[in-house]
Amino acid sequence: MAKATVWQASFTSYSSSYHKFFTPRNPTVAVGFLLSLSPRIHTLSSAFPSFSIKPKRPKNSFQVRSVAAPAEDVAGFDEMVFGTERKYYMLGGKGGVGKTSCAASLAVKFANNGHHTLVVSTDPAHSLSDSFAQDLTGGTLVPVEGPDFPLFALEINPEKAREEFRDATKNNDGTGVKEFMNGMGLGMLVDQLGELKLGELLDTPPPGLDEAIAISKVMQFLESPQYSMFTRIVFDTAPTGHTLRLLSLPDFLDASIGKILKLREKIASATSAIKSVFGQEETRQNAAGKLERLRERMIKVRDLFRDTDSTEFVIVTIPTVMAVSESSRLRASLKKENVPVRRLIVNQILPPTASDCKFCAVKRKDQMRALEMISNDPELSSLKLIQSPLVDMEIRGVPALKFMGDIVWK
Ligand SMILES: Nc1ncnc2c1ncn2[C@@H]1O[C@H](COP(=O)(O)OP(=O)(O)OP(=O)(O)O)[C@@H](O)[C@H]1O
C-alpha cells in the first residue's frame, strides 16, 4: 500500500496553484473549494486502522467561510433527520457521478441516527450490492448488516416489474379482443383500440417506464402496514435521462390507462352477455382492477415527486463542464415539473496534491472552471452546494459509506 496520500502536499505548491487558478472575480468559488480542504477527511484509508497512511495537515490554515450561495437558509442534516414522519430523498444525476455512494451513505447515516430506513435502487443497472459490499439482489427487502438501526435495501428488478405490468394488461392489448370484436360485428371499437397502442407500449416501452413501474412497485410495498415502520426512504435513481422521462410518464400512462379503462367499460357493456357465455368476465375484471391500481399508484408517484413536505430531490454531479451542464438541465426540468430540489452535491473534488503533479494541477484547474460555472448558473447557484472530495479509495461497505456520509451529510 502506498504511503503517500493526496494530502501530503506542500501547502506552498497548493497555495500557488490556488492563486493561479482563482481570480479575484470569483472569490466564492475559491472559498468554496477551500471548504473541501479540511484535513483528515479526504483519506478514506486513514479512517481505517489497517491502513497506516497519515495525512499531513497543511502548514498554513485558512479561515474559510461558507460558499456565498443564496441558499443559506437550506438547513443541514439536522433538519433532514428531524421528525418521525416519513420522508423521501431521491438522488439523481448523470451516470457514474456517485449517486449510489451518496444515496447509500445517506441511508447509513439515517439508520445510525435512529431511523428505520429503506434504500431503493430503481436504476436498471443496480449497484447497491456493490456499494454495500453485500448481496442485496432479489427484488425484495434485504437487511443491510452494519448500521446501528435497521436499514433495508431493495433493488427493484425493472424486467420483472415490467413483466408484471405486461401480465396485468395482457388481456387488454387489443389483439385478442380485436378479433373477437370483429367477429361480433363491433368493428367500430377496434379503431379505438388500435389508437391506444398499448401492445406497442409494452413491446417497446418508452424510456422511463421501467423507472415508473419500479417506483410504483415501491409504493406498493410501502402501502402495506408491515412496512409502516420506515421513516426514511432513499432512492438511488436511474441516470438523468430516465428521471426526466419518468417525470412526464405518469401523466402519459395515466391518460393511456384511463382511456383503456373507459374503453373496457364500453366493450363490457356491449358484450357482457356474450362474454359471460365464454366465461371471460372474471379475467377481464381482474385485469381491469390491476390496471386501475397501477394507474392509482402512478398518480401517487407523480404526487410524491412534487410533495415539498415529504420529498426532496438531491442532484449529484461532478466538477466537469459536461456534468454541470447536464445538472443544470436536470434542475430546470425538475423545476418545470415542480419537483422540490434544494441541494447539489459536487462529488469527487480533487484535494491538493502530494507533489507538483502536472496532471493533478490541470485537472484541478478544470474542476475549478466547473465550480465557477455552478456559481454562475441560474439553475444551480441557488442550491445549497455540498462539496464532496475524491477520496483515495473506492467507497465500498458500511464503514466507508459512514465515512463518506459524515463528509457529505452535515
Ligand atoms: N468521492 C468519491 N471518491 C472516490 N471514489 C468515489 C467517490 N464517489 C464515488 N466513487 C466511486 O465511483 C464509482 C461510481 O460511483 P457510484 O456507483 O456511486 O456512481 P453512480 O452515479 O451511482 O453510478 P451509475 O450511474 O453507474 O449507477 C464507485 O466505484 C464509487 O466507489
- Strand 87-93 versus strand 232-236 pairing type: parallel
Residue 143: CB atoms within 10 Å: 12
Q: How far is the CA of 404 from the centre of ligand 1 (A)?
A: 11
> What confidence tens digit (pLDDT) does each residue in 225-270 have?
878 899 999 999 876 666 666 665 556 566 666 666 666 666 666 5
Complex ipTM, two decimals? 0.98
- Ligand 1 atom, smallest distance to 130 CA: 17
> Rounded to whole angstroms, how far apart are CA atoms 410 and 405?
8
Give the relative orientation of helices 281-305 and 240-278 as an angle to the nearest 10 degrees.
160
The answer to whether 123 is a known catalytic residue is yes
Name the range with the highest mean pLDDT among 53-57, 66-70, 182-186: 182-186
Separation of CA 323 and ligand 1 centre (Å): 14
- Would the pTM count as exceeding 0.80? no
pLDDT of residue 4: 34
Ligand 1 pocket list (CB less than 6 A): 95-101, 123, 125, 127, 239, 347-348, 388, 390-391, 394-395
239, 123 Cβ separation under 8 angstroms = yes
Residue whose C-alpha cell reads 472530495 in the numeric block: 389
Residue 217: count other Cβ atoms within 10 Å of its Cβ: 23
pLDDT tens-place string over residues 117-126: 999 987 777 7
Give tens-digit pLDDT for 346-371: 999 998 776 778 888 899 999 999 99
Neighbours of 225 (CB within 10 A): 6
Mutate to test the pocket of ligand 1, among 100, 131, 240, 398 (most ligand atoms within 8 A of CB): 100
Q: How far is the CA of 101 from the centre of ligand 1 (A)?
A: 6
In ligand 1, the atom with minimum distance to the C-alpha of 348 is: 1
Taking residues 85-106, what's their average pLDDT?
A: 94
Q: Which domains does the chain have, with CATH numbers?
A: 77-171+209-247+303-408 (3.40.50.300)
Tens of pLDDT, residues 314-349 = 999 999 999 999 999 999 988 988 889 999 999 999
Catalytic, out of 123, 236, 377, 392 = 123
